[in-house]
Structure 1
Amino acid sequence: MARHVFRCPLRWADMDAYGHVNNVAFLRYLEEARIDFMFRLAPGEGDASFTGGSVVARHEIDYLRPLVHRHEPVVIETWVTDISVASMTVRYEVKDEDVLYAKASTVVVPYNLAQQRPRRISAEEREFLEKYRDDEGVVAA
């Protein structure tokens, strides 16, 4: 199956005192990749698509190697491993061509902002997500 590829720029402010990208910055990188994946590529408008709202229910990150600040962007591959009635699990790899810096997952829940409550994944959203589903693509540490 397909993976969404996002090239994320590194910022000077992302570094910690040791010259590595701070662990919190990784969450921002994952957010940027996820938003690019879900909002730019997802179909529809309003409550009929992810642009109508979603919330993060869980993050999990395994830091594998330090990422040092540089001018070149880091690649974040994004795909989906689980799709339920009202949530999905998005997986990520933060990497260069030959180095894996982190792997992560996020449980995302579609959310109706007007009603302030979770909602079900629409048929249109499910069709979109299925194109990026890869249960076999989970990389071990």
Structure 2
Amino acid sequence: MGEYVTLVRPRWSDMDAFGHVNHANMVTLLEEARVPLLFDDASAEGLGDFARGIVVVRLSVDYRSPVVVNGHDIRVEITLNELKMASFTLGYRVHNGPSERDKVAVVASTTLAPYDLAAARPRRLTAAERDFLGSRIPGAES
């Protein structure tokens, strides 16, 4: 089974003194990898509530090797690790280049929860959102 794949390009400003992507900026790159899926693709399918409110509940990042800033895209593979009624967990494999043959440098996960901004509280996923996540991101079933 495959995964949702996107390319992101580290910026020169993401670099630390050693030429590697700074750890805080890696978290931003993970966000940039998931936004087109959860905001753009979901909105195109009539599921605009993700773009109106979603929060990170948990974040885990394991570094296997540095991600080098060299002006090239990096490949981010996203899988659905867990799908619950009010949250879901995405897994990431970040390659140090645009190809699946490039070394995996970072393995990460984020648990996300839909959020009702008006009520100022988390909310449950709708059936349509659960279907979207399960069909668009390969991985675990609920």
TM-score (structure 2 length as normaliser): 0.87
List per-residue Cα deviations over 1:61-102 (Å, max 9, x = no partner): 000111111111101111211111100001111113320010
List per-residue Cα deviations over 1:109-137 (Å, max 9, x = no partner): 000111111100001111011121413xx
Contact 1:82/1:133, CA 8 A, preserved across alignment: no
Unaligned 5+ residue runs, structure 1?
A: 136-141
Contact 2:88/2:111, CA 8 A, preserved across alignment: yes
Q: Which residue of structure 2 aligns with residue 105 of structure 1? A: 109
The percentage of counterpart residues that share the same residue type is 39
Q: Which residue of structure 1 aligns with residue 82 of structure 2? A: 82
Instruction: Supply the RMSD in Å over aligned alpha carbons.
Output: 1.6
Amino acid at match of 2:139: D
Q: Which residue of structure 2 aligns with residue 44 of structure 1? A: 46
Unaligned 5+ residue runs, structure 2?
A: none
Q: How many angstroms does 1:52 deviate by?
A: 2.7
Q: Which residue of structure 1 aligns with residue 127 of structure 2? A: 123
Q: Which residue of structure 1 aligns with residue 25 of structure 2? A: 25
Count of residues in Structure 1 that have an aligned counterpart in Structure 2: 134
Superposed structure 1 runs of 4+ greater than 2 Å apart = none
TM-score (structure 1 length as normaliser): 0.88
List per-residue Cα deviations over 1:46-72 (Å, max 9, x = no partner): 4xx312311000100000111111111
Contact 1:37/1:78, CA 8 A, preserved across alignment: no
1-side partners of 2:3 and 2:117: how far apart?
A: 28
